[in-house]
Amino acid sequence: MEFRLLVETTDPLSQPSLVLEGRHWALTESLDLKDGEQCPQFACISYLWGSGREPHALFAGLTMSTRTRPSLAAAIQSGSCNAFWTDVFCVPRAGPERQSTLEHMGYIYSCATEVIIVLGEDTFSVIQKMMRKDFISESDLQILERDERVSSVWTYQEIVNGGSVRFVSERHAETQASIGISSFLNALGYGLWRLEDMSSSNPFHALRTFPKLNALENILVDWQTESFTHRSALNVFSSMSSKRNADPANYFYAILGVLTQSPQQLTWVGQNLAEKVMAICERKNDFSFIYTAAARDTDPRQRWRPHAAPVPADGAVMPAVLRPIFAWHYWGEAQNGHYDATGFWLHGMTIMHPAPSVEDDGRKTIFKWLHQPELQHVDDAVLGSAAHAAICSVGFEGAAAPIMTTEGLIFAMGAVRKDDIARVLVSNQIRAAMGAPGLVQIGDGDKKQYEPCIFIGSTVRLRGDGDSVLL
């Protein structure tokens, strides 16, 4: 990995440099990031390029964003460091060095003394308004929802890997203010709470209207409550589900940056980034990637495993392998499993079977989660339709007909006939407020297949250690 920093220089004529805040800045030679004596304390600067371009300040013949200079100026004015890392200057232009640096961005951010995220003036003003607990309208929240920073694939790794994270305005010289991440989280929580209050306490209204802001809130909660090693892959995929980038490869690089900060784990032969992500998860004994919406592998030995589709060459479609079957906030460090001579074992699972109807505890959990008490006494078909409509409104794209169990409803990714179901496996290790992810086993023996699913219902049976099951 090539690691260079932008630092002040007293000899601007000896190398390309740019002038900011009356000082000349140039790139260092490649540094050893692990060498505390050679590598100074530095800040990572994150900002959105936007569409405006101007000649590159350091590399002749290239262009850079018109936001680069004001963003750097804001970071210099507000930061405590005198060395900076930002992609437009510090990521190599091409070749293996560029790929390696992109794969190690999570590691770079984790080593930074601080992370400075530069926001547009309108976005920064709305956050300040929420911090003051002024009246917040849907129009205010739409400003944040439309902000490209909120939907950027890089946002997650920048926040969760950074030790000290602050938000500043592009016009920092005028505002002279920065916002810490805890203050940002409290302000965003207040804004979404106000929206929920205005919509008769229906959380699905906020989720439908502001999916990116809700995902951002989950990211900020991750930063506040968990170290990166305590974050399941499924929760990462879920928080990244609304993130976008013109280059699908960047989606994978950002995922890699969240899943691991270890340079050694990223040594790899081959270009299939989806497979690389799953391999890193397996090394961490986290198989929660099985709860993604991708088609299963056709290899008879691992039909439970998602098929690692390559990144499309045209950049138009992102592989489904990293899309959770249902994007929600999950807790639990990992979905454990292991291989042995008999096959693959999944740990911490509860086995469920189809039943004629959902019992009272399951029904109570469902209508409470949906905030629809009128569903308490409806028949199972109406209950299933209401639950399906709700989860589809926030991104579920699976089969409409639920599988009834005594504990609740199972929604599989693909349509499954009740008579073909051998068993339903629901995770005790990865949980959500309304249930947990799982797998539906179809058939048995050499013909068995698996569909990922989401269980919605009573979680009483999921509170123990669960069983180890051979897939």
Pairing of strands 165-169, 178-180: antiparallel
> Structure pTM?
0.81
Mean pLDDT of 312-318: 48
Give 196: exposed, middle or buried? Use CB within 10 Å, 0-12, 13-18, 19+. middle
pLDDT, position 88: 93
Mean pLDDT across the chain: 84
- Could you report the per-residue pLDDT of 70-125, keeping only the tens digit for each? 999 998 888 789 999 999 999 998 888 888 888 788 889 888 999 999 988 888 88
pLDDT, position 13: 83
> Is residue 273 within 8 Å of residue 99, measured between CB atoms?
no
Nearest to 259 by CA among 291, 283, 290, 225: 283
Q: Is 468 helix (H, G, I), strand (E, B) or coil?
A: strand
Of 349 and 152, the structure prediction assigns the larger pLDDT to: 349
pLDDT, position 319: 46
pLDDT, position 327: 87
Nearest to 191 by CA among 224, 158, 142: 142
> Is residue 101 within 8 Å of residue 92, measured between CB atoms?
yes
Residue 198 has pLDDT above 80, yes or no: no
Nearest to 166 by CA among 222, 127, 211: 127
**Could you give the CA distance from residue 232 to residue 250 in angstroms, rounded to a whole number?**
20
Of 259 and 202, the structure prediction assigns the larger pLDDT to: 259
Q: Is 148 helix (H, G, I), strand (E, B) or coil?
A: helix
318-323-324 Cα angle (round to 5): 175
- Give the C-alpha distances (Å, rounded to integers) separating 251 from 60, 232, 257, 322, 388: 28, 17, 10, 9, 29
Write out the two tokens for 183: 């203050």
Mean pLDDT of 228-243: 77
> Is residue 333 within 8 Å of residue 230, measured between CB atoms?
yes
Nearest to 252 by CA among 226, 225, 264, 270: 270
**Could you give the CA distance from residue 252 to residue 287 in angstroms, rounded to a whole number?**
17
Write out the two tokens for 155: 């946002």
pLDDT, position 51: 87
Q: What share of the chain is helix, strand, coil (3-state, %, to 5)?
A: 40, 20, 40
Least confident of 59-68, 251-260, 421-430, 448-457: 251-260
CB atoms within 10 A of CB 404: 21
Q: What are phi and psi of 117, to 5 degrees?
A: -105, 120
Q: What are phi and psi of 130, to 5 degrees?
A: -70, -35
Q: Which 8-state DSSP code applies to residue 94? A: S
| Range with the largest mean pLDDT of 178-192, 274-288, 302-316 | 274-288
pLDDT grade, residue 69 (50/70/90)? very high
**Could you give the CA distance from residue 297 to residue 309 in angstroms, rounded to a whole number?**
10
Q: Is 90 left (phi over 0), alpha (psi -120 to 50) or beta?
A: alpha
Write out the two tokens for 236: 């990462």
Q: Give CB contacts under 8 A, 24+ apart, made by 86-93.
A: 86/6, 86/44, 86/45, 86/46, 86/47, 88/49, 88/56, 88/64, 89/4, 89/6, 89/27, 89/57, 89/58, 90/3, 90/4, 90/5, 90/6, 90/27, 92/2, 93/59, 93/62
**Could you give the CA distance from residue 226 to residue 439 in angstroms, rounded to a whole number?**
26
Mean pLDDT of 247-274: 67
